[in-house]
Structure 1
Amino acid sequence: MDIQLGPVTFFLMVGIAVFLLSFGITVPVFGESRSTRKRLQKRLQEIQQSSDRPPISNLLREKYLKRLGRFERALEQLPGMERIARFIEQAGHTILAYKLVLIALLLCIAAAIAVWVFSKTWPLALVAGLLGLALPFLRVNRDRQKRMDRFDEQLPEAIDIIKRALQAGHPFSESLHIVADGLEAPIGKEFGITFADLNYGNDLRRAMLGLLERVPSITLMAFVTSVLVQKETGGNLAEILDKISKVIRGRFRFQRKIKTLSAEGRLSAWILTLVPFGLFVLIYFTTPGYLPILVESPEGRQLVIAACVAMTLGIFWIRRILKIEV
């Protein structure tokens, strides 16, 4: 396999490294375990299936599909599109699911052709195509994570509003309406949907579980659980919410502390990954006679490829070390 490491290939490798660092290292260092989220989603699906009343999310999707043309409706009903549509909705975007898939495919083809034209190297063209395919979904995933983080940041304030509304004598459903009117998106929008769900006729349990389905968050689960337990057993909900609010704020303080302590690790990841490229440029301008041995001999090219693979594995390994799951 003859691989030429020209300027285009070099800058492509630098771009891939920065891309992997941006999406691999710049991540929340404090999050929820995947197994916990999967168990939560599975439990919610079981609850939805055991009920004879459709969830409001299904009704909203049916209304959303009716507004589309026949061709777009058929594309949106393809297998997997509903899951992508929910993924997009959680990110706060309004693009149709099939359009996101088409954009990803077009980027994949365009990136692969462009890299092949300039480098004539099919492995790099394949990598560029895969990155082009993943880029739209990674962008939506990042926006989704930001929206979830923003929701969690707004949740203590929303809980305080609900607590004060309850102390003033308002019913719980009306306190949700106050939050929807008083706070910005995303929490205002989601609590507004929950208030509409209660007005639609669902009981409190299904409405709160619907909120948790739309915003799968451990922080929100603590709030939902406290409301549902109080409904079953009784007690002063305002006092319970006050304690929940303090716990959530303490969780955020711990999160900021962990983020500060892990800053050195993230900086080390950037330095360790970009130093080889910096040395390559330095040697190119100071002693260019050394480079042909590396980039022209078969052994040297194999070493470069092995180094790129090891660097990629190292990025994701550092990401795994830095991210604390709870």
Structure 2
Amino acid sequence: MTQETLFAGMIFVVVLLMTQAFVAPVMGSRQAARKRLRQRIRNLATTSDGSTHAALVRQKYLQSLSPLERKLESLPHVERLAAIVSQAGMNFPAHRLLILGALLGLTAGAALYVRTDSLVAGLLAATVAAAAPVMYVNRKRMKRLRDFEERLPDALSVIARSLKAGLPFSESIKMVSTEMEGPVSDEFRRLFAELNYGGDVRSALFGLLERVPSVSVMAVVTAVLIERETGGNLADVLDRIGNLIRQRFRFQRRVRTLTSEGRSTAWIASVAPFAVAMILELFKPGWVTGFAADPLGKQLFIGAFVLMVIGILWLKKLVNIDV
């Protein structure tokens, strides 16, 4: 393995860890909370016919595809990928995302392999390029879900005022879809359409919860279902939930402001060693590569790299506070 390949591999691992730690956290308590939420949604949905209806719609969709597209859509985890695409507000089949990732990965990997004659560098480039479309869609999904949650308190206020004015629940949902913008309007418009065309309220609300998996939406769905079964003042309950969500977002912004210095420090501390090494190699060619060629220097490089990875994971635990 050449020194350039080893250096490129170290950069790849550090950037990957930084991305996972500070851009799209997928480890720790947040991921565990997401898994618990998805499990609770599945458990709740089993008590209604929403999952059966979704399965029938999925089967009808697969029958409309060509044999090759049907094979791609039937691959493991593609249904989950289709849900991510839908939650991102995009309207294209999930298998096209797989095809795009494969084409980008093959192109980038082949181009870098031809240029550097390094199989490891080609594989690294292919991996990054193949994952880029999914990372882009997932980033849009996270932004859309965050936008939905930020606008949800206003939507709940509209529903509460409409209920206090004497409008039925379905008309209150329609008011949100017409008066608001963005993902809130889109999701409540779809919810109203399901209710307006004879859909069951329970199934429609669970469908909303599947499309927007969040604790806030689960609280709203639970409040509506309990009110329909036991009675009560739904308008006041929705007002209180909306105020609670607003306070939660204010606290989240405060926490993010307080931890911004730690995140900046983590980025600088992780990028600085590689930037300094590149600058030294630029102004004094052979200085870094000569040091890395020495057996002791190589061991020092590997030790520093391991300590850097530990530091990144440690900083992630410090600055990612679950609210």
TM-score class normalised by the smaller sequence: 0.7 to 0.9
- Describe how 1:59-78 pairs up with structure 2 within 5 A: 60-62=57-59, 64-65=61-62, 68-78=65-75
**C-alpha distance in 1 between matches for 2:80 and 2:200:** 25
| Alignment partner, residue 265 of structure 1 | 262
TM-score in terms of structure 1 length: 0.85
Report the 3-state secondary structure (helix = DSSP H, G, I; strand = E; otherwise coil) of the residue aligned with 1:324. Answer: coil
Does the CA-based 8 Å contact 1:56-1:210 persist in structure 2?
A: no
Unaligned runs of 5+ in 2: none
Q: Is 2:129 the partner of 1:132?
A: yes
Q: Is 2:213 the partner of 1:216?
A: yes
Unaligned runs of 5+ in 1: none
| Alignment partner, residue 5 of structure 1 | 4
Summarize the Cα distance change of 1:91–1:317 in structure 2 as closer, same or farther, 3 Å threshold.
Answer: farther
| Alignment partner, residue 171 of structure 2 | 174
**C-alpha distance in 2 between matches for 1:58 and 1:183:** 31
**C-alpha distance in 2 between matches for 1:113 and 1:185:** 40
Does the CA-based 8 Å contact 1:76-1:82 persist in structure 2?
A: yes
| Alignment partner, residue 31 of structure 2 | 34
Summarize the Cα distance change of 1:233–1:285 in structure 2 as closer, same or farther, 3 Å threshold.
Answer: same
- Describe how 1:95-114 pairs up with structure 2 within 5 A: 95-114=92-111
**C-alpha distance in 1 between matches for 2:286 and 2:30:** 50
**C-alpha distance in 2 between matches for 1:143 and 1:165:** 32
Which of residues 182, 187, 191 is equivalent to 1:190?
187
**C-alpha distance in 2 between matches for 1:294 and 1:280:** 11
How far is 1:167 from its partner?
A: 1.2
| Alignment partner, residue 83 of structure 2 | 86
Summarize the Cα distance change of 1:66–1:292 in structure 2 as closer, same or farther, 3 Å threshold.
Answer: closer
**Amino acid aligned to 2:239:** D
Report the 3-state secondary structure (helix = DSSP H, G, I; strand = E; otherwise coil) of the residue aligned with 1:235. Answer: coil
Summarize the Cα distance change of 1:100–1:313 in structure 2 as closer, same or farther, 3 Å threshold.
Answer: farther
Does the CA-based 8 Å contact 2:270-2:308 persist in structure 1?
A: yes
Does the CA-based 8 Å contact 2:100-2:133 persist in structure 1?
A: yes
**C-alpha distance in 2 between matches for 1:53 and 1:13:** 47
Deviations 1:94-134 (A, max 9, x none): 23211111222223333333333333333333333322232
**C-alpha distance in 2 between matches for 1:202 and 1:252:** 33
- Taking every aligned residue pair, what percent have the same amino acid on both sides? 42
Does the CA-based 8 Å contact 1:88-1:94 persist in structure 2?
A: yes
| Alignment partner, residue 123 of structure 1 | 120
Summarize the Cα distance change of 1:230–1:32 in structure 2 as closer, same or farther, 3 Å threshold.
Answer: farther
Does the CA-based 8 Å contact 1:179-1:188 persist in structure 2?
A: yes
| Alignment partner, residue 144 of structure 1 | 141
**C-alpha distance in 2 between matches for 1:304 and 1:115:** 25
**C-alpha distance in 2 between matches for 1:290 and 1:158:** 61
**Amino acid aligned to 1:5:** E
TM-score in terms of structure 2 length: 0.85
Report the 3-state secondary structure (helix = DSSP H, G, I; strand = E; otherwise coil) of the residue aligned with 2:182. Answer: coil
**C-alpha distance in 2 between matches for 1:11 and 1:170:** 62
How far is 1:12 from its partner?
A: 8.1
Which has the bigger relative contact order, CA under 8 A and spacing at least 6? Answer: 1
